[in-house]
Structure formats: structure tokens, C-alpha cells
Structure 1
Amino acid sequence: MFSSFKVKVKMQKQNTDVHGIKYRSGLHCTARVLQTEGVKGLYRGATSSFLGVAFESSLLFGIYSQIKQSLEGGLQSGKPQSSVIIPSAAIGGGIISFVLCPSELVKCRMQVLGTDSLVPKSSRYNGPLDCALKTFKTEGVTGIFRGGFTTLLRESIGNAVFFSTYESVRYYMHLQLKDASSNQNNLTDVGVGIMSGGLSGIAFWSAVLPFDVAKTIIQTAPDRNSTRNPFQILKSIYRRSGLKGCYTGLGPTIVRAFPANAAAIVTWELAVKILGVKRE
């Protein structure tokens, strides 16, 4: 699934450039990467991403659950409450953006600048650690957190959409299954987890992919003084390429979103059940 991230980032960087469309589709981009960089090229920058995602996911679900429980005051009505879910998810997303920003910056720079033949060899990266150190040395702490505001917007808005969709789909699916049959087993729970998680992942990226496009451009811009304003960047892309440009990389992102988030939700719900945490 990481290879789809690689394709997404390459498409976002190259297809929104002033020089025009470089990749016709996600499949075309994948073929070009395989041709020029080999299979290894599809997984360039994976280390930092895996570490960041693993820590971010556990942190996000933990923060969301705790804030949601506090806002509910111990009283669970059963039916999802937007007034509880949205702030819980938005706060959780905002917090984890500080973890995601540096790891995604390293990942994006490794994927876009690390192998670019137009970039001088002295500016290329030997690995994630080398990328992080060079960024810190040349740009300082602000360089490591370049694109932080855009990441915060993506994560706070995106997770509000994600958990609202998840809680609603989960609630209504269980309600329908309860009415249809009283025999709800572990297999049923897994099925609900797959559907609610997969649909939530699609909802997340459909809502905030333009911010992700802007973040990729901000984090991989060679000019240190280039704008970090995501709205200014998106306005420029929209002027050149329309709404389609703002959603560059949607195909490979959606392909990854359903299975990845379905697996995340099923794993989370299994962990909750094993730990004996009560849910409505």
C-alpha cells in the first residue's frame, strides 16, 4: 500500500507544476517509477512513513477516545453525537499533525527530490536520517516543520470527517443487523469494521486531498522562501488546472484508503474488545 503513497506524491508534485501534466494517470506514474527507479523506488522513504504512521495511529485513536469520553461525561446515548465526535476528532487530528509533519516531509523529499536527476548530487539524500539532518542543518526547526499549518488543517478537518463517517456507518449498520438478526458474532463485527473503516478512509481523503496536494508542494519546494500558504497555492493550481488539479492523485489515494483504513478500524476494535473497554 505504501507504493500508492509514492505515486500520489509524485503526481501531486509533477502534475501541478507550471510545466504541465507529466503523468497521465496513477498507472502511468507507477510504470515510469518502475522504469526509472525499479521496485525499490516505489518504497523510497518508507521507513519514516511507517514509523510516523504507527505512532500517529495509536496516538490519534487514544486521544480521540479519551476526549470523546470526557465530553460525553460518562453518559453514552448510543446514537452518534456530532457535538462530541467532531471536536474530539479535530483536536486529536491537530495534535498528531505535529508528529506527522516531520515524517511526511522526509518521506516527500525522499520520493521527489532524492532521485531527481535535476537535483545536484550534493543535495540528494542517502536515506531518511540523512534527509532529516540535511533539512535541519540548512533550514533549522522551521524547516523540519515546513507545511505544519497545512498538515494541521488536513488532519483536524479530515479526522472530523473520518470519525463522523465511521461512528455513523458503524451505528446504523449495527442497528440494521440487530433488527435483522439477534445473532451478531465476531465475523459480523469484522464486516462492520471493514465497511465503516473503508468508507471513512474514502470520506477523509475526498474532503481534504487538496490540502494534501498543497502540503506536498510546500514540503518539496526547492526555494526556501516560497509561500507556505495552502490557499494561495490551491488558488494558483485551480487557475491552471481547475478542480481536477486540486485533486491530483485521487485515484491511487482512494485505492489505498479503503483497505488501509478498514484494517486500521478492525485492528482498533479488536484491541478495544481484548482490553475489555466498554463501548456503546
Structure 2
Amino acid sequence: MFPTHCNVLNYFLKRFFVPIKGGVQSSRPQPQVIIPSAAFAGAIISFVLCPSELVKCRMQIQGTDSLVPKCSGYSSSLDCALKTIKSDGVTGAFRGGSTTFLRESIGNAVFFSVYEYVRYYMHLQLKSGSSDHNNLVDMGIGILSGGLGGVAFWSTVLPLDVAKTIIQTAPDKSSLTNPFQVLNSIYRMSGLRGCYTGLGPTILRAFPANAAAIVTWEVAMKLLGIKNN
């Protein structure tokens, strides 16, 4: 998933955390606002993402020769969800929930910190320069800030995502569910590289996907007449 799915929630949470001095909100990024609002938004959205990603991961490895044990007998995503609940109960759909919680909380704090600071300083440079500040420039800033935010997100939390996938696709109910124990096991077998399995394709996807999502978000905000400080 991409961290930009938290945009709306994060936008409103920032209004709760933002300090107001003299009746005016500061336009400069403030870590004491960005980090808790983004982390809280990620924590909330993790409860939606966990069961949906569990189904996605189990469907993806089904019928493959992956080292991860096969999941068999799923005819559709709905069938996978229903069979998971039938065999493991409702809590089974939230297997890997703590790992998803950590990934989204930490990842979104990183994403929105990078996004806000890159956006702020690029706008600052343009204001001090002679360049005309137009819609095309705004789009360019959105592409760079959103793309770099996405790269920062996945560079930080990819090991947690690797652990989450292993936890969610393990067929044995008694398998490890502590992400740090899973990562320790991976590290002992494959080193740091094993913890960052799939980093290349993930980064290649992260930049354009998050850049497009942020530009779409900012255009929508502008069309709705909502100021995005």
C-alpha cells in the first residue's frame, strides 16, 4: 500500500495537533505536528489494511513454488477471507496486525515529514527566486515531494513489510507473530539484504505511485478551494 491513502485523515488530524499563535497557523513544517498526526493516521488505517493485505498476500502465493508455504483452495478474495475467519476466527483476519500498525505509524510519520519539508523548502526557494509560480511548478513540486516521501517510507519500513508478509502467510498458527523475532531469524539466515528483500522493485514503484497520488490530492484540494499549508 501507499502512505498517501492517509492523506485525508492526516489532513484533519493536523488541525487538531497544530499550534496556533496569535490566531495564525504557522506555514513552516513542525515536527511536533507532522509526526503525531501522521503516525496516528497510520495507526488508524492499519486496522483496515491488515485484513485486506492478509487476503492479498495469501492469494498472491497460492499455487506458486514460493519458499513461503502454499495457501490452497481459495477461489477468490472473498473465499480466502471467509475461510480464514472460519478456521482462525475473526482475530485470524488480523494476523500481523501489530506489524502493520508499526509499519503504518512509523512509515507515515517518515513519509509526511519528508513530503512537508521538501514541499516547504522548494516553495521557499521559488518565492525567493525569479521563477513564476504557476500550476506546472506546483505539479513539479508535488511530483518530487510525493515521490521522495514514498521512497523514504519504504526505505524505512520495508523490513517490517517483509516480516508482515511472512507472518500473514505462515500456515502454522503457532508460527512467530513478533516482527522483531521474525526479522532476527531472517537476519541470521540472510543478513541485512534478506530484511530488504524486494527493495529495488518497491522503490521503483514507490516514487511514481506516490508522486501521482500527491499531485492528484493537491489538485483536488485546489479545485475544492481548500488551502493546503
2:144 corresponding residue in structure 1 = 195
Cα separation, partners in 2 of 1:192 and 1:160, compared to 1, 3 Å: same
Give the equivalent residue in structure 2 for 1:66: 12
What's the counterpart of residue 231 of structure 1?
A: 180
What are the residue-to-residue correspondences of 1:86-125 with 2, within 5 Å?
86-112=35-61, 114-116=62-64, 123-125=72-74
Q: Does 1:263 align with 2:209?
A: no
Deviations 1:80-138 (A, max 9, x none): 000000000000000000010011000000001x21369789x3211111111111111
Letter in structure 2 aligned against 1:132: A
Alignment partner of 1:149 is 2:95: no
Q: Letter of the aligned partner of 1:64 in structure 2?
A: N
Deviation, 1:66, is 0.9
Question: Which is worse superposed, 67-76 or 218-227?
Answer: 67-76
Residue in structure 1 matched with residue 116 of structure 2 by the alignment = 167
Q: Give the deviation of 1:61 after TM superposition.
A: 1.3
Query: How has the CA–CA distance of structure 1 residues 120 and 196 changed in structure 2, closer, same or farther, with 3 Å as cutoff?
Result: closer
Could you tell me how far 1:279 is from its partner in structure 2? Answer: 2.7
Alignment CA distance shift 1:273-1:120 (3 Å): closer
1:71 positional shift:
1.5
| 1:246-257 to 2 correspondences below 5 Å | 246-257=195-206
What residue is the counterpart of 1:222 in the other structure? 171
Partner of residue 275 from structure 1, selected from 202, 205, 224: 224
- Kindly report structure 1 stretches of 4+ aligned residues shifted beyond 4 Å: 117-121
CA distance in 2, matches of 1:181, 1:149: 49
SS of the residue corresponding to residue 174 of structure 2 reads coil
Percent same amino acid among aligned pairs?
67
Q: Are the aligned partners of 2:107 and 2:157 in contact in 1 as well (CA < 8 Å)? A: yes
Tell me which amino acid in the other structure corresponds to 2:16: S
For residues 38 and 65 of structure 2, the distance between their equivalents in structure 1, rounded to whole angstroms, comes to 41
Letter in 2 for 1:190: M
* Whole-angstrom CA distance in 1 between matches of 2:10 and 2:119: 16
Q: Alpha-carbon deviation of 1:76?
A: 2.2
Where does the alignment leave 5 or more consecutive residues of structure 1 unmatched?
1-48
Contact 1:115–1:124 (8 Å) recurs in 2 = no
Return closer, same or farther for 1:221/1:279 CA change in 2, 3 Å cut-off. same
Alpha-carbon offset, residue 57 of structure 1: 5.0
**Cα 1:262–1:248, aligned 2, differ >3 Å: closer, same or farther?**
same
- CA distance in structure 2 between the partners assigned to 1:57 and 1:206 by the alignment: 16
Gaps of 5+ in 2: none
Match of 1:184 in 2: 133
